[in-house]
Structure 1
Amino acid sequence: METQVPLTIFDRFASNLHIAVLFAFAAPTPSNDALLDGLSKVITHFPTLIGRLGYSSSHRRPCVILGGDGGGALVVEATVSSELSDYLPLEPSPELQLLHPSPFDAVHLLQVQLNRFKCGGLVIGATAHHRVADGQSMSTFFVSWSQIVRGTTVDRLPVYDRSWLNPRRPPRCEFEHWGLDFVPIPTHRRGFTINPVDVDPSEITNMLVRYSTDYIRKLKAEVNNKYTTFETLLGHLWRKITIARGLQDCDLTMVRVSVNGRTRLKPPVPNEFFGNLVLNAYPKANVKLLITGGLAAAASIVHEAILEIDQRYFQSFMDFGELYGEEELVPAYDVDGIVLSPILEADSWVRLRFQEVDFGGGGGLRGFLPTWVPFEGLVMLLPGLGEEGGIDAFVTLIAEHAKLLRQISHSLD
């Protein structure tokens, strides 16, 4: 028997693709049998991950179909003839794509690959469709899976209650969601001309820029500790990437910043809510003013833009979904092509639970990284797993721009 779970407006705002991540664990690690047994148990708490995307004629919108034919998760077991230590610390590389099933044209919403190294080390590569779960949700899944394998109680089961996401009666949009959030996009989008750049994906590189706790402390001192670590570090990276891209003084640049709505809705939604509950803030600036204004000005622009995505904005977005949910909705960023410049997309996984993933065995988590991404203009902040802690910035740029960013990434001017 099939059950249809309509996608929320937040699910439909998420990218229509799989997100792939890698966890590296030093030996000793649990056996594959133990991992798969734990996966079969935990997945009963996360049924939408083993459904399939479809369309609900009764609700007249896209949905996840549970039960019936299809569905399930794809699991691959692989062996690697080299030592895990040869790849630690994990660095972005096209070879990482061999450690997880292909996210392109995937049939299953959840894919897992268990990679056993010669030394007994383990890399778990997994992909999940973004329309089913955001980063907060997937961190809940991975932590729950690891707890079951360790034989401990799952401390935070997923929550599926959607009562927080109800539109008003009557619904009303207080903000303009066409254009920045969803297409159709006018030729000029609030001053931004979208001209997709035709480049070979091989010209795009991924890099990891490591910022120590001490360096972040220096950055925050530059802004008199007025802004959060995320706002400060993103302001710093925005300026340095803009310089590295060689943008003109008169150009406009913008960052799409992911904003988690769980704490912004009233009453707040539990972090364990499973699905998507993220919107974007849109800090923007003239290139010359961004560069000459210094870090404090950049962090302030980011801060003010994030403040605007509040309870009222989220409620307006839910009302938008009620008014236009029966239409074919395409997120604006799905039509940008593979080069985003002069735009950036920025997200932080620092406060999520990925670093808590521990399957037991004693080896421990030694690396956590997104896979190689063939898109320019992404910034993801990851928790530093080394003894010094700090934050690792995963950045995707044209190769020549990445080379320059490496040279200036830690400059304080």
Structure 2
Amino acid sequence: MPVTLKACYTVKPIETTWCGRVSLSEWDQTGNVTHVPIIYFYRTPSQESNNNSIASTLKDSLSRVLVPFYPLAGRLHWINNGRLELDCNAMGVQFIEAESSSSFEDLGDDFSPSSEYNYLVPTVDYTLPIHGLPLVLIQLTNFKCGGVSIGITLSHAVVDGPSASHFISEWARLARGEPLQTVPFHDRKVLHAGDPPSVPLARCHSHTEFDEPPLLLGKTDNTEERKKKTAMVILKLSKTQVETLKKTANYGGYGNDSYSRYEAIAGHIWRSACKARGHKEDQPTTLTVIVDSRSRMEPPLPKGYFGNATLDTVATSLAGDLVSKPLGYASSRIREAIERVSDEYVRSGIEFLKNQEDLRRFHQDLHAIESEKKEPFYGNPNLAVVSWLTLPIYGVDFGWGKELYMSPATHDFDGDFVLLPGPDGDGSLLVCLGLQVEHMDAFKKHFYEDIESKS
């Protein structure tokens, strides 16, 4: 896709904001320290809007939303032993204007994701020191047909999915001329380790999410798997297919409670991946499940908590058990992992991280696959699943109507899955997945045929 960059601006808060260093919480200190992209496509009213007014509206509202969301205008700094600190210095975010000679029609009727999307989201130069990187980068691309895309990429070291969605929603509200709805809560001390510890170290749980994931049988490292070509697709599940999977998961006697659609679908994905990858029966495999701890804390985190409050929990199994036993077995393994995340579990994880001399081994820099430093790899034989089912990801209106389409943009890391609600509100779901190219066709086959066999 031909895309020409036309201008690049630094947008700063329109008013003076608090400046100073902020210690990140232990959950901010681990995980993916790179940026996560999302993209929205819009048709704009040709008579009422033009490229200049759209850009002006976005930049003006961005400068205003950065006042309450002032940490995003700052910069990260390494301090010692792999730990990060946030410098709230109002240096601003990056806003890029671009144009494409393509039309929306060139992207297909369903905006099927492809590598072309890479040109529609800002590129982050990770060769620069981390304190030189904006935490938010935005690209407005004007298409030949009059439509626009807004590509947004945010630092995962500063925000998780709920916080990113909060920021984007409030930005759109200000662009429409409406007031802020929910003020962000910035005191990250509520998730800091205590002194004395909030959970005695003797009662700390076993945090297997920090262990190295299993390797393929017979392998001593995952170097070969890291280098294999991957692709991204979005698969749709109709309301009927979702109900079929949920019914199937709850038929078989595993567990006493009914499994949710999330547990049923995630279990189905896990089983389908084992089949597609051709795992041996005794192959250990994990499914990393990302859980939002906001409502699991005692008391719950304040409304609008802005930062990382999601954490990993790991479901484990042998591939043979997942494939040979009913779907309810996979769902039961996921349920067990989710129920592990209690207030005490979260706080014991914080204490565990606090007592680590060096946090560098916990960083998941997925962009540095070819670097000498080998970060944790969650691809074959493992998976990771994120749910956006409850996030307000649709209906983001900057003043010219709701989006035609939104997508996690580039999401082609092997084994990474995102579950999204269908955009029409009809009970359907979307599964955005990254998988090795050699396994993709087999995965699609098992994914759909196994549902049809239960219908």
Task: State the match for 2:206 in structure 1.
Answer: 176
Paired residues of 2:26 and 2:192 also in contact (CA < 8 A): no
Structure 1 residue ranges without an equivalent (≥5)? none
- What is the TM-score normalised by the length of structure 1? 0.90
Paired residues of 2:26 and 2:193 also in contact (CA < 8 A): no
| AA matched with 1:393 | V
Paired residues of 1:21 and 1:370 also in contact (CA < 8 A): yes
Task: State the match for 1:257 in structure 2.
Answer: 289
The equivalent position to 1:131 in structure 2, one of 157, 160, 165, is 157
Paired residues of 2:225 and 2:380 also in contact (CA < 8 A): no
The equivalent position to 1:209 in structure 2, one of 217, 226, 235, is 235
- What is the TM-score normalised by the length of structure 2? 0.82
Displacement after TM superposition at 1:333 (Å): 4.8
User: What do the CA deviations read for 1:259-315 (whole angstroms, capped 9, x no partner)?
Assistant: 111011011114521110111111111111111112111111111111011111101
Task: State the match for 2:89 in structure 1.
Answer: 67
Count of residue pairs the alignment pairs up: 403
Change in CA separation of 1:192 and 1:72 when aligned onto 2, cut-off 3 Å: farther
Distance 2:32 2:189 in 1: 24
1:266 aligns with 2:266: no
The equivalent position to 1:360 in structure 2, one of 399, 404, 421, is 399
Percent of aligned positions that are identical: 28
Change in CA separation of 1:348 and 1:18 when aligned onto 2, cut-off 3 Å: same
Distance 1:51 1:312 in 2: 32
Query: Match of 1:368, SS?
Result: strand
Query: Match of 1:240, SS?
Result: helix
Structure 2 residue ranges without an equivalent (≥5)? 1-17, 251-256, 366-373
Displacement after TM superposition at 1:197 (Å): 3.3
Task: State the match for 1:383 in structure 2.
Answer: 421
1:89 aligns with 2:127: no
Distance 1:254 1:108 in 2: 34
The equivalent position to 1:10 in structure 2, one of 4, 9, 27, is 27
Distance 1:100 1:72 in 2: 18
Displacement after TM superposition at 1:231 (Å): 0.8
Q: How does 1:231-310 map to 2 (within 5 A)?
A: 231-310=263-342
Distance 1:336 1:74 in 2: 28
Task: State the match for 2:15 in structure 1.
Answer: none
Distance 1:53 1:192 in 2: 40
| AA matched with 1:293 | K
Paired residues of 1:283 and 1:301 also in contact (CA < 8 A): yes
Displacement after TM superposition at 1:163 (Å): 4.6
Task: State the match for 2:371 in structure 1.
Answer: none
Query: Match of 1:79, SS?
Result: strand
1:26 aligns with 2:46: no
Change in CA separation of 1:44 and 1:201 when aligned onto 2, cut-off 3 Å: farther
Q: How does 1:46-57 map to 2 (within 5 A)?
A: 46-56=69-79
| AA matched with 2:383 | L
Paired residues of 2:214 and 2:285 also in contact (CA < 8 A): no
Task: State the match for 1:165 in structure 2.
Answer: 191
Distance 1:239 1:296 in 2: 11
Distance 2:220 2:195 in 1: 36
Change in CA separation of 1:350 and 1:270 when aligned onto 2, cut-off 3 Å: farther
Displacement after TM superposition at 1:19 (Å): 0.5
Task: State the match for 1:351 in structure 2.
Answer: 390
1:99 aligns with 2:99: no
Task: State the match for 1:313 in structure 2.
Answer: 345
Distance 1:290 1:327 in 2: 36
Higher relative contact order (CA 8 A, sep 6+): 1
Change in CA separation of 1:51 and 1:239 when aligned onto 2, cut-off 3 Å: same
Task: State the match for 1:141 in structure 2.
Answer: 167
Paired residues of 2:93 and 2:135 also in contact (CA < 8 A): yes
Displacement after TM superposition at 1:2 (Å): 5.4
Displacement after TM superposition at 1:119 (Å): 2.4
| AA matched with 1:131 | A
CA RMSD across the alignment: 2.7
| AA matched with 2:398 | F
